Chains A and B, each alone.
Chain A
Amino acid sequence: MRLNRRAFVSATALSALAALAPIRAIAQSTGPIKLGTLTPLTGAGGPYGPVMAAAAKAVADQVNAAGGVLGRTVEIISEDDQTNPEAGVRAARKLIDVDGVQAIMGTWASSVTTAVAPLCWESQIALATVSGADTITQLPHQGYLFRTQPNTALQGRKFGEFAIEQGAARVFFMTPQTPFVESQFGAIKAAVEAAGGHVDLLVYDDKKSSYRSEIDEMLAFNPDMLVLGGYTPDTTVLLKDVYRSGFGGKLLAFAYSVNQKLVDELPADVVEGIFTISPSPAEGATGYSELSQLINVTSPDTYTAQVYDQINLILLAIAVAGTASGTAIKDDLRQVSQNPEGVEVANAVDGLQALAAGQAVNYNGASGPCDFDAIGDILDCQFRYEQVKDGTLTWLKTA
Chain B
Amino acid sequence: MIPLIQAILNGIMAGSLLAIPAMGLTAMFAVLRYANFSIGALATIGAFAAWYANTVFGWSEIPALIAAFVVAALVGMLVEQLALKRLRPAGALTVAIASIAASVLLENVVRFIFGNDLRAFDTPLVRDWFFWGLRVGPQQLQNVIIAVVIMALVFGFLSLTRYGKAMRAVADNPDLARIYRMDPQKIAMATVALGTGLAGVGGMLLGLDSAIEPMTGSRLLLPIFAAAVLGGLGSIPGALLGALIIGVGEEISLLFMPATYRSAIGFVVILLVLSMRPQGILGERR
Contacts and interface: CB of A to CB of B under 8 A. Distances in A.
B120 A214 contact: no
A237 B126 contact: no
A370 B205 CA distance: 51
Contacts of B118: 232-233, 236, 261-262, 265
A205 B10 contact: no
A230 B263 CA distance: 17
Interface in A195-248: 202-205, 207-210, 212-214, 216-217, 220, 232-233, 236-237, 240-241, 243-246
B213 A233 contact: yes
Interface stretch (B56-64, B127-135, B235-243): B127-135
A235 to B, nearest CB: 10
Given A209-B220, A244-B137, A267 B125 contact: yes
A207 B128 contact: no
Contact of A243 (B125, B219, B258, B261): B125
Contact of A265 (B126, B211, B263): B211
A236 B210 contact: yes
Contacts of B263: 205, 207-208
B130 A208 contact: no
B124 interface: yes
A244 B210 contact: no
A266 B124 CA distance: 10
A203 B258 contact: yes
Nearest to A235: B118
Given A209-B219, A236-B118, A236-B211, A244 B128 contact: yes
Nearest to B117: A261
Interface SS of A by simple majority: helix
A246 B127 contact: yes
A244 B137 CA distance: 7
A243 B263 CA distance: 24
A273 to B, nearest CB: 15
A209 B209 contact: yes
A306 to B, nearest CB: 29
A343 interface: no
A216 B3 CA distance: 8
B254 interface: yes
Task: Among A210, A241, A245, find the residue whose CB has the most chain B CB atoms closer than 10 A.
Answer: A210
A214 B130 contact: no
B69 to A, nearest CB: 19
B167 interface: no
A379 interface: no
Interface in B190-220: 206, 209-211, 213, 216, 219-220
A122 interface: no
A87 interface: no
Nearest to B247: A210
Interface in B130-151: 130, 135, 137, 139-140
A269 interface: yes
Contacts of B10: 210, 212-213, 216
Contacts of B27: none
Interface of B: 3, 6-7, 10, 13-14, 117-120, 124-128, 130, 135, 137, 139-140, 206, 209-211, 213, 216, 219-220, 251, 254, 258-263
30 contacts: A177-B260, A203-B259, A203-B260, A205-B263, A208-B219, A208-B263, A209-B209, A209-B219, A210-B14, A210-B210, A213-B7, A213-B251, A216-B7, A217-B254, A217-B259, A233-B211, A236-B118, A236-B120, A240-B209, A240-B211, A243-B125, A243-B127, A244-B126, A244-B127, A246-B128, A261-B117, A265-B117, A265-B119, A266-B120, A267-B124
